[in-house]
Amino acid sequence: MTERKRVFSGIQPTGNVHIGNYIGAGRNYVALQDSYETIYCVVDLHAMTVPYDPEELRKGKAHMARMLLAMGIDPKRSLLYYQSDVPQHAELSWVLGCLASMGQLERMTQYKEKSDKSGQYFGLFAYPVLMAADILIHRVHAVPVGEDQTQHLELTRDLAERFNHRFGELFPVPEAIIPEVGARIMSLTDPTSKMSKSDPSPKSRVNLTDTPDEIAAKIKSAVTDTGSEVSYDPENKPGISNLLEIFSAFDGRSIDELVEEYRSSGYGRFKAAVAEAVIAGVQPIQERYASLTDAEVAQVMEASAEKAREMAAGTMELVRDAVGLD
């Protein structure tokens, strides 16, 4: 029997989880469990790289862990833990940081964007190295990423190759897994921008915890385009095209099938159908979220962290020997 390849992904614990997160990442995390050895991590250390409130971080961690379990992460098939519970992430980050150049980190697009808003702190500057350590500590083969994260994966690949060249072959060079459909669900208020937890407008996104009435209202008020024909044209009709992407993701039918049915329906009837599909799609997640207790979530996270520490300790034994620390 062929041994399964290992996959890792880290998830920020900040803000409410929205349907863009679910379609672009969460649903993919669940599906990957069927084909890979999957490791998922709530990256609370990364959340410290911009100004934050400690109590909000505590709440955000617990909410994210609970939501990931509600979406379908199965602790019998996957590891799911808090990054800060596995100290080897930070230890490997230092080793890799000694191989990363200032120029590489300065060119990181997200650093440029976030430093303008949050200030130029070392943690924000160096967090792509910690991201590389998150991936390499488990010696994974692949990483599910959105199109806006490929630059960070390239840094990870480069650091793995540098380490292997200098100290001996230790790390697999991870490949990217990029979903073909639904990787970038756009804002409901500005369909030229990605749906984001940090958008100041609550109307820009549908959260997985929104009530049916809230979902219907947000879809109804979503920015659309001139005309009344429902067609898929991301360049000229980005609003309707985005709603078609969302509709298809939750309904299961192809975009072509949906266009055929709703082409002449008018935007009002089309939006009502989109809202109905989203409400039905998030209902099972909301029911599972409500059924999980804090104690159950904590037990899952602690048990996974114990296994992750054991795995990471094995990697660090090899790293410390390779670099001359042992």
Active site members = 114, 194, 197
Place of tokens 């709530």: 42
For 18, other C-beta atoms within 10 Å of its C-beta total 23
132 to 104, 161, 287: CA distances (angstroms): 13, 12, 35
Please give the order of strands across the beta sheet that includes 142-144: 78-82, 37-42, 6-11, 142-144, 175-177
CA distance 207 to 286: 11
The DSSP 8-state label assigned to residue 33 in this structure reads T
- Cα distances (Å, whole numbers) of residue 271 to 128, 181, 231, 244, 293: 39, 20, 13, 10, 35
Alpha carbons 209 and 33: distance in angstroms, whole number: 24
Strand partners, 80: 40
Cα 221 from chain centre = 26
- Tell me the C-alpha distance between 130 and 281, whole Å: 35
